[in-house]
Amino acid sequence: MKIAAFNVKNLGMKKVNNDIILENLIKIVSRYSLVVMQEVRDPTGKAMEKFLTELNEYRKNKSHPFKMLSSEPKGRNSHKEQFVFFYRHDEINVTDYYQYEEENEDVLAREPFIVMFECPNTVVKNLVLIPVHIDPDDAENELEALDDVVEDARETFETDNIMILGDFNADGRYLNDETREALSISSPPYHWLIDEDADTTTGANDHTYDRIVVYGDEMYDAVVANSAKPFNFQKAYKLGKKMAQSISDHYPVEVEDDITKTFVRLLQVKSIERASNPSAVNSKKSGQKRRMLSVMMS
């Protein structure tokens, strides 16, 4: 099961209405079973509803559709953003979710929208995702505050199966190596998965702003070895630099969770069925009813 976080710069109706950008975003999201988008600016929800509709009309998504779960807009002053999850509902179910709120301090400019998923086909059956978009001007303090966020999620959901993912702004002038290594979330039981030399930006620099961090050895062991990396969509889709940057200034970061042997056997059986009788499979697909669900936290 492939999971990703993608900071899509200023994702709203303007980008969704651009056919070329929309096509590439759909291709990117379709690579995953579960993806959380950051820097979404869609207070009415109409842009993401349109994106979900178009997403579910794309190739295999017609028979393997996504649902959507969105936070409310968060942020200081007039600049507010949403975290939006897209997940394949035949693989994954939303168990619970909540908006994290700081009690005594206002450290985090955009408090995480924390979601617990049931993943019956993976080694880890329940998974909590904590998406982040760290303020670059206060990266050290915000990243240090994430340890409290994780403890709150552990207490709330009574699980250690936790993954923090998103735009950490954890490189370059925002955070040096020494400061990063001194963070609470840089010590055990945390594990940082993205290689320090990975380039997660479409720009001229080669910084590793975007990260995936898991809590505990069980979560670390459930990750497929060497699967955590950025997805360079510019190279994969043979895009020019200008086109790539019009999609976003970041690449998605992705990781694969190990699936169970039972699910592997099920996939093998389905593959054999398609190969031996493709017309029957196509007939079955055409008769399926598809439902799309958009949930906005209230």
List the catalytic residue out of 39, 81, 111, 254. Answer: 81
Q: Which residues contact 99 (CB under 8 A, 6 or more apart)?
A: 71, 72, 74, 111, 113, 114, 297
Residue that the structure tokens 């997940």 belong to: 87
133 counts as catalytic: yes
151 counts as catalytic: no
CA atoms within 13 A of residue 7's CA, in its CB half-sphere: 25
Q: How far apart are CA 263 and CA 68, in angstroms?
A: 24
Q: How far apart are CA 159 and CA 127, in angstroms?
A: 8
Q: How far is CA 105 from CA 42, 114, 164, 221, in A?
A: 27, 19, 21, 34
List the catalytic residue out of 39, 91, 111, 133. Answer: 133
Residue that the structure tokens 């403890």 belong to: 151
AA letter at 90? D
Q: Which residues contact 140 (CB under 8 A, 6 or more apart)?
A: 175, 179, 183
DSSP state of 27: H
Q: Which residues are catalytic?
A: 81, 133
